[in-house]
Amino acid sequence: MNNIQQIDDYLLQYAGKTDRALFEARLILQPALQEDLLWQQKTYEVIKQYSRRRLKAEIEMVHQQLFTEPEHHSFRRKIMALFHRPPKH
């Protein structure tokens, strides 16, 4: 568990310069720690991708509600007016 905390501190840049240097030395000396670091990085990437997809889906749902449901018609008109460009003469 201590390794996980140290890996988190390292990856999230919570560790100070001295702690980072010591951790990097441990990475060189301990191949298992290096492997743990790689798996933690992969875990963060998966979480980040999942979070992005979920946020995108939530934004799309709000968009659909605001731009398709009749009770939001006046809101839609106001938003569209903001982006309407008058014709050039």
Confidence of residue 36 (pLDDT cuts 50, 70, 90): very high
On whether the pTM is more than 0.75, the answer is no
3-state secondary structure the chain: CHHHHHHHHHHCCCCCHHHHHHHHHHHHHCHHHHHHHHHHHHHHHHHHHHHHHHHHHHHHHHHHHHHHCHHHHHHHHHHHHHHCCCCCC
Within a domain: residue 88? no
Within a domain: residue 42? yes
Span 58-77, pLDDT tens digits:
999 998 888 888 888 888 88
Confidence of residue 82 (pLDDT cuts 50, 70, 90): confident
Within a domain: residue 8? yes
Within a domain: residue 89? no
pLDDT higher than threshold 90 for residue 83: no
Within a domain: residue 53? yes
Domain count, the chain: 1
Instruction: Give residue 14's domain range.
Output: 2-83
